[in-house]
Amino acid sequence: MDKAFITGGSRGIGSEIAKQLVYKGIKNLILGYNNSYTEAKKVADYCMEHGATVNLCQINLANIEDAQLKLKEAITQMGGIDILVNNAGITQDSLALRMNHDRWDSVLDINLKAAFFLSKTALKPMIKQRNGRIINISSIIAQKSRGGQVNYAASKGGLEAMTRALAVEVASRGITVNAIAPGWIDTEMTQDQDNQKQGQGGLESTIPVGRIGQVSDVAHLAAFLSSAEASYITGQIIAVDGGLSVRI
């Protein structure tokens, strides 16, 4: 397991997953990013300082045919692929009665459609080598809905269902497919939501362990699921949420 491709690798959870994979011995890494070249370059430089060969790939997940082509080129460049992390995602929040086609389609296209078709592209070499790891980054919103995020909830719920179905299809080929469902993690998106809840004690007041999660909490799990030690774990949706999803 030494060749990995990560979408949304320029910041937040994606950048920390890249670092954790390198800490665990990944030697060949390609970071997918959309517009954040400067941030992606910083992540790449950090990973290279820690012994990995890292390349950047500007990839527009809204254009799925081009995105698949970019991934194919990356696989050729690395000489194969062992790990695909479908991390990139967007929100386009709106109350259901105000939800338009563009907001619905853009979120479903990037969060769900792109994850499937990139997985399909990665599966061909993985099946040939009879080994591989696909990790999808979902969200607690797939199970714990909030107003104004019907499109996002649908995309992440679909991603989790896809994870289970795909895992069954490819398990006999030595490939595992799992999803991580983060709760409140300290990212730019969560900081905005935390500010909205400050009058109610903030997001921390809703979390049983009493703190907002760090990107490293998610990344450590992603690194484990990418390893040989996780070869008997597949089709699982694992929450990293401080107990939020099981709170009554």
Q: What tens digit of pLDDT does each residue of 31-56 get?
A: 999 999 999 999 999 999 999 999 99
pLDDT category at 146 given cuts 50, 70, 90 is: confident
Residues with active-site annotation: 152
Residue 101 has what pLDDT?
Answer: 97
* Closest residue by Cα to residue 63 from 104, 117, 135: 117
Burial call 64-79: b when 16+ CB within 10 Å, e when fewer: beebbebbeebbeebe
Residue 198 has what pLDDT?
Answer: 47
pLDDT category at 1 given cuts 50, 70, 90 is: confident
Residue 170 has what pLDDT?
Answer: 98
Residue 47 has what pLDDT?
Answer: 98
* Closest residue by Cα to residue 134 from 183, 180, 78: 180
pTM: 0.94
Q: What is the mean pLDDT of residues 115-143?
A: 97
What percentage of the chain has pLDDT greater than the value 90? 89
**Please, what is the Cα angle at 114 between 153 and 136, to 5 degrees?**
65
Helix (H, G, I), strand (E, B) or coil at 202: coil
What whole-number distance in Å separates Cα of residue 207 and Cα of residue 194? 12
> Domains plus CATH for the chain?
3-239 (3.40.50.720)
Is it the case that residue 193 has pLDDT exceeding 90? Answer: no
pLDDT category at 190 given cuts 50, 70, 90 is: low
Helix (H, G, I), strand (E, B) or coil at 186: coil
Q: What DSSP designation does 205 have? A: G
* Long-range contact set of residues 44-51: C-beta below 8 Å, sequence gap at least 24: 46/19, 47/18, 47/19, 47/22, 50/19, 50/22, 50/23, 51/22, 51/27
Q: What is the mean pLDDT of residues 143-153?
A: 92
Tell me the average pLDDT of the chain.
94
Q: What is the mean pLDDT of residues 90-114?
A: 96
What whole-number distance in Å separates Cα of residue 188 and Cα of residue 208? 22
**Please, what is the Cα angle at 151 between 159 and 67, to 5 degrees?**
55
What whole-number distance in Å separates Cα of residue 183 and Cα of residue 144? 10
The answer to whether 88 and 135 have CB atoms below 8 angstroms apart is: no
Q: Can you read off the two tokens belonging to residue 173?
A: 């080929």
